[in-house]
Structure 1
Amino acid sequence: MRDLIELVEYFKACNVAVKSVTEPFDLNTPIGECVFNMMGNFAQLEHKTMMERINLGLRRRWEQGKWKGGVPPFGYDYNKETEKLEVNEEEAKTVRKMFRHYLRVKSIRMVANYLNRKGTPTRNGGKWIDSTVGVILSRETYNGVLKIGDVVSKLPELRIVGKRTFEKAQEIRKKRRTFRPRRKHEEPLMEGGVFCHNCGTVLFGEMRYCPECGTKQMRSGIQCVNEQAVP
């Protein structure tokens, strides 16, 4: 409503007359301006009321464990009859594999590389990337919890990984986020002087704050099986 009033005032300042095609009021008169403001307020009230009803409906669905809509997370299918999520066992195997490997290597990038090297496809048959793996590792749905705003629904039937496994993964993610970011001008420790024990390629420094094997990251098709990095 405020934006609309400011727009009308701007037009007036530019000597531009504003008239309604559907309503018989004249904004160039005090009465017409009053009617315009009243109708705008009622329209705003109607919009807010409608949004409250929509949010209330979504809240009730969430409390009942029903899916909010959209594409279900990786590891789940949407049941149209119950309007709820169901575990997709084939995808769930990949999710469990992600969490297990993450607890071992403590690196999202290494998890993505591991899945790609094993030929484990995404839902669309593509390659895994860091951001997708990161979202999966942080999604509480895999621990049997649905959240929307302040509404929390505990649904054990949706649990794909154990509670302790999920909590350990979050602890690792939190610790890694607290690492001090390296400034761009800083030289990585021992860069150029340390080599991969498996293929002999020089290790490079990257934002994981540890050197990794450069051959492992190449997109040319050359792949090194060394999964470890210098701590």
Structure 2
Amino acid sequence: MERPEFKKMMAEARAKKISAIVCYRLDRISRNIGDFAKLIEELDGLNVSFISIKEQFDTSSPMGRAMMYISSVFSQLERETIAERIRDNMHELSKTGRWLGGTSPTGYKSEEVKDVTIDGKIKKACMLEIIPEEADIIKQIYKVFLETNSLTKTETYFIQNGYKTKNEKLFTRFALRNILTNPVYMIADEDAYHYLIENDVDLFAEKIDFDSKRGIMAYNRTIQKSGKANQMRPMDEWIVAVGKHAGLIKGTEWIKVQE
């Protein structure tokens, strides 16, 4: 419902500029039954017809409206089934401790290493490699924050000293906070192990894997919704493994920063 063109269409409907909305399939409008029901109710109030070419619903009859809602329920079921399948895949991939792709965190670059077989399918496996000059910046960020205990003062320090992000921009408090809360930098040592156990994460590693060298891979950390800032999940929903990459910050220091 937050899509720009969708909002534009609804604004025109409310301004009485259109008499009908035509779509190819019902799920092109929405796969959420709650959103869809509100939409149809609003269109009824605006005297705007809703037409789906594929399903050929007759919304003027009770049976037609019932069939439309039933179809919407199945669309939502399909969306949730796909999401569940993605979560299951993520669960399996997390056991490998590999980087799953996306923008590499500051301090690292993503290197393709080999293929892995997950759920009978071959997938590309990547590993994080340290970028020395960026890794030095990460260590400095943690050092300054632990000294000042302030995001604002840390931001001021990095602006005044001309430090730049991966994208050649000045560090903001938001960027610094993301770095300071990212477990990818934490060295997998004994302190890290006990911290993760105490916070009930879904841990795919044994105590022996915490070798005081490698870093932590935490998956399923954020709730991502279109048009909204990512929200952090509680730690007991995280999926955690010891990564293949080298960690940068001692467990005690990383934990102190979180506190």
| TM-score bracket relative to the smaller structure | 0.5 to 0.7
Check 1:18–1:135 CA distance in 2 against 1; reply closer, same or farther (3 A cut).
Answer: closer
Q: Tell me the number of residue pairs that the alignment of Structure 1 and Structure 2 aligns.
A: 171
Structure-2 residue corresponding to 1:67:
99
How much has 1:44 moved relative to structure 2? 1.9
Q: Is the 8 A contact 1:142 1:160 kept in 2?
A: yes
2:182 to 139, 143, 147: 139
Compared with structure 1, are the counterparts of its residues 57 and 97 closer, same or farther at alpha carbon in structure 2 (3 Å cutoff)?
same
Q: What corresponds to 1:49 in structure 2?
A: 81
Runs of 5+ consecutive residues of structure 1 not aligned to the other structure: 172-231
Q: Is the 8 A contact 1:141 1:158 kept in 2?
A: no
Counterpart check, 1:78 vs 2:110: yes
Indicate the residue corresponding to 1:103 in structure 2: 146
Question: In angstroms, what is the RMSD of aligned CA positions?
Answer: 2.7
- Residue 150, structure 1, aligned to residue 182, structure 2: no
| TM-score normalised according to structure 1 size | 0.61
Distance 1:89 1:22, change over 3 A: same
In structure 2, C-alpha distance between the alignment counterparts of 1:17 and 1:2, rounded to whole Å: 19
| Residue equivalent to 1:35 | 67
- Which residue of the other structure, out of 120, 134, 155, is the alignment partner of 1:91? 134
Shift of 1:137: 2.1
* CA offsets 1:46-78 (integer angstroms, 9 cap, x no match): 121112112222332233223343211111111
Assess if the C-alpha contact under 8 Å between 2:216 and 2:243 holds in 1: yes
CA spacing shift, 1:146–1:17, aligned 2, 3 Å: same
- Confirm or deny: 8 A CA contact 2:128 2:244 kept in the other structure: no
Which has the greater radius of gyration?
A: 1
Contact kept in structure 1, 2:97 and 2:244, CA below 8 Å: no
Aligned partners of 1:168, 1:20: CA distance in 2, in Å? 56
Q: TM-score, normalised by structure 2?
A: 0.55
Identity rate of aligned residues, in percent? 26
Aligned partners of 2:58, 2:160: CA distance in 1, in Å?
Answer: 70
CA–CA distance in structure 1, aligned partners of residues 174 and 135 of structure 2: 18
The residue identity in structure 2 corresponding to 1:29 is S
- The answer (yes or no) to whether the contact 1:17–1:28 under 8 Å persists in 2 is no
Decide whether aligned partners of structure 1 residues 28 and 79 sit closer, same or farther in structure 2, where only a CA change above 3 A counts: same
Q: What 5-or-longer segments of structure 2 have no aligned partner?
A: 1-32, 114-124, 187-214, 221-236
Are residues 25 and 130 of structure 1, via their aligned partners in 2, closer, same or farther at CA, if it must alter by over 3 Å? closer
**Which structure dedicates a bigger proportion of its chain to strand?**
2
- 1:77-132, Cα deviation, whole Å (9 max, x unpaired): 11134323222222111111222233333333333344444444332333333332
What secondary structure does 2:245 align onto?
A: helix
- Bigger RCO (CA 8 Å, 6+ sep): 2
Amino acid at match of 1:165: E
Shift of 1:156: 6.8
The answer to whether 1:7 aligns with 2:39 is: yes
